[in-house]
């Protein structure tokens, strides 16, 4: 990343540090810790990380940093959503692993026009070499195919297919909160060679997208806690916008 965007990212992180942590990350610390431990300890997840690390970049803000956070939140959402069901713990853990794998793979074709469908096809090729049965591969690929916002989705008659899909979607959209302004924005600005002045011009359009995403969460936990994650991001974004106007706007030199 270039020096200007590095400095702006550090300033954005400083601004974000003054804002409260969204309630999801406070109330569900235990499920998140379980998901994080599984991310680092499960052999299949570790193998996939080793496969992806050489080919993933953060040029577009959707590399391994983003995908790992989506995977961990997806696995945590699965744990929470399944807490009140009679499902055996070993089965819950297996579904959490599927959530982690889906999270790691969901943006594998991020730079392509129809990246969700293209990503599902690429994920199927990657997963052929993993110790997964055919249904598990289909489940992960369906989730990846369905993770794009504001597009038509493919519904599944199998409840666990649908739950993995919905949890991946919500975990990915959680990233539209603070992560947008502490990470993704600056990598995208660098990748697209945007100046701070050009960022100022695009900010209102980006903020509008955040408002729209608030109404799209699919799981019960996502609907309860996702909007606050987005609200926190919006407040951080407004403060960053004011900072950019002050230091890079038309009147900055005056």
| Helix/strand/coil (H/E/C) assignment for every residue in 123-155 | HHHHHCCCCCCHHHHHHHHHHHHCCCCCCCCCC
Question: What would the pLDDT profile of 73-118 be if each residue is shown by its tens digit?
Answer: 999 999 999 999 999 999 999 999 999 999 999 999 887 888 999 9
| Domain contains 253 | no
Cβ(74)–Cβ(100) under 8 Å?
Answer: yes
Domain that holds residue 148: 3-248
Cβ(34)–Cβ(86) under 8 Å?
Answer: no
Arithmetic mean of pLDDT, 194-209: 90
Residue 36 corresponds to which tokens in the numbers above? 């994080």
pLDDT for the residue 12: 97
DSSP 163-201: HHHHHHHHHHHHTTTHHIIIIIHHHHHHHTT--HHHHHH
Q: Total structural domains in the chain?
A: 1
pLDDT for the residue 207: 86
Mean residue pLDDT of the chain comes to 94
Alpha-carbon distance of 131 to 138, in angstroms, equals 13
pLDDT for the residue 60: 63
| Domain contains 254 | no
Q: Given a cut of 50, is residue 254 above it in pLDDT?
A: no
Query: What's the CATH number where 216 sits?
Result: 1.10.3210.10
Q: Given a cut of 60, is residue 41 above it in pLDDT?
A: yes
């Amino acid at each position: 990343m270039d020096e200007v965007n590095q400095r702006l990212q550090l300033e954005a992180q400083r601004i974000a540090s003054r804002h409260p942590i969204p309630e999801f990350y406070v109330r569900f610390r235990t499920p998140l810790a379980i998901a994080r431990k599984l991310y680092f300890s499960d052999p299949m997840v570790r193998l996939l990380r080793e496969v992806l690390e050489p080919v993933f970049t953060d040029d577009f803000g959707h590399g391994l940093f983003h995908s790992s956070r989506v995977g961990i939140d997806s696995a945590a959402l699965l744990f929470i959503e399944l807490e009140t069901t009679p499902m055996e713990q070993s089965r819950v853990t297996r579904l959490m692993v599927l959530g982690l794998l889906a999270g790691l793979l969901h943006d594998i074709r991020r730079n392509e026009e129809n990246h969700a469908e293209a990503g599902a096809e690429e994920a199927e090729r990657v997963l052929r070499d993993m110790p997964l049965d055919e249904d598990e591969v289909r489940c992960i690929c369906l989730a990846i195919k369905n993770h794009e916002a504001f597009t038509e989705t493919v519904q599944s008659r199998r409840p666990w297919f649908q739950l993995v899909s919905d949890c991946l979607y919500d975990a990915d959209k959680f990233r539209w909160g603070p992560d947008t302004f502490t990470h993704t924005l600056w990598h995208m600005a660098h990748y697209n060679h945007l100046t701070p002045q050009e960022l100022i011009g695009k900010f209102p359009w980006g903020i509008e997208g955040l408002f729209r995403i608030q109404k799209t969460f699919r799981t019960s936990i996502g609907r309860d806690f996702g909007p606050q994650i987005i609200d926190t991001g919006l407040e951080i974004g407004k403060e960053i916008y004011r900072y950019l106007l002050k230091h890079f706007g038309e009147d900055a030199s005056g």
